[in-house]
Amino acid sequence: MENFFRIRAEKQSHIVNAAFMIFGRQGYRKASLSDIAQEAGITKGMITYYFGSKKTLYMYLVDVSQTMLAQATNKRLANKNIDFFERLRLTTEVNMSAIKEHPALISFTNSLYNENDPEVSEDIAARVASLDYPQADFFMEGADASGFKSEYDPDIMCRFMVWAVDGFMMELYEREDTEANADALAGKFYQCLDVMQKAFTESRGREQALI
């Protein structure tokens, strides 16, 4: 793929976006290099020149889609002893930035979990398992749980909030106009976080009682 990395970053991003879209909509088996080339506005021969094969392109996208969010999130949260809610807000900001740069990222990422083509399914599982992607353990590590009301188990609350993020991302995926309404939907999600923080933490609960 050395030839691909020699072209301008803008052109690389354009090709990646086109491939995200086609694979996300059609799945690995049905997607063709011709469809991707047409979406990207280049020839099929150029796609082959850059990547060699459909599988090489697809697995490159798997790596990009999974490491992009993980690395960006790790960077934003590095050495920050912040609470769960702030971690969720920062993680959502990372997701939104990635979506704006790669509008079909969510569609492609979600398609990975349903991809069963034997040519790539085992490779997908191995790649995803090897990545340090922020799930429940990631949110727990170094997070400040001192603000939670005593009756709530931090482990359970962490799981609850991870599921909340998953639901938010799924709604983004299910909307056909994801890019246009992403900011508005994110605003509603932040409002939900505010409600949960007021309900589950001592400090916000006290503030609310004084109003």
- What was the pLDDT predicted at 206? 40
Q: How many CA atoms lie within 13 Å of 128's alpha carbon, on the beta-carbon side? A: 14
Distant-in-sequence, close-in-space partners of 187: CB < 8 Å, separation ≥ 6: none
Kindly report the average pLDDT of the chain as a whole number. 80
Does 208 have pLDDT greater than 50?
no
Does 89 have pLDDT greater than 80?
yes
Answer yes or no: are the C-beta atoms of 92 and 190 closer than 8 Å. Answer: yes
Does 88 have pLDDT greater than 70?
yes
Between these two residues, 32 and 163, which has the higher pLDDT value?
Answer: 32
SS3 labels along the chain? CHHHHCCCHHHHHHHHHHHHHHHHHHHHHHCCHHHHHHHHCCCHHHHHHHHCCHHHHHHHHHHHHHHHHHHHHHHHHCCCCCEHHHHHHHHHHHHHHHHHHCCCHHHHHHHHCCCCCCCCHHHHHHHHHHCCCCCHHHHHCCCECCCECCCCCHHHHHHHHHHHHHHHHHHHHHCCCHHHHHHHHHHHHHHHHHHHHHHHEHHHHHHHHHC
- What was the pLDDT predicted at 77? 66
Answer yes or no: are the C-beta atoms of 137 and 48 closer than 8 Å. Answer: no
Distant-in-sequence, close-in-space partners of 22: CB < 8 Å, separation ≥ 6: 31, 32, 35, 36, 39
- What was the pLDDT predicted at 201? 84
- What was the pLDDT predicted at 53? 96
**Structure tokens, 88:** 């969720």
Radius of gyration of the chain (CA): 20
- What was the pLDDT predicted at 9? 93
Band (209; pLDDT cuts 50, 70, 90): very low
The dihedral sign for the CA sequence 82, 170, 114, 27: negative
Between these two residues, 25 and 202, which has the higher pLDDT value?
Answer: 25
- What was the pLDDT predicted at 174? 67
- What was the pLDDT predicted at 84? 74
Q: Which of 16-20, 74-78, 132-136 has the weakest average pLDDT?
A: 132-136
Task: Return phi, psi of residue 110, to 5°.
Answer: -65, -30
Distant-in-sequence, close-in-space partners of 2: CB < 8 Å, separation ≥ 6: none
pLDDT digits (tens, 9 = 90+) for 138-197: 555 655 666 778 888 877 877 787 788 778 877 776 665 555 677 888 888 889 889 988
- What was the pLDDT predicted at 45? 96
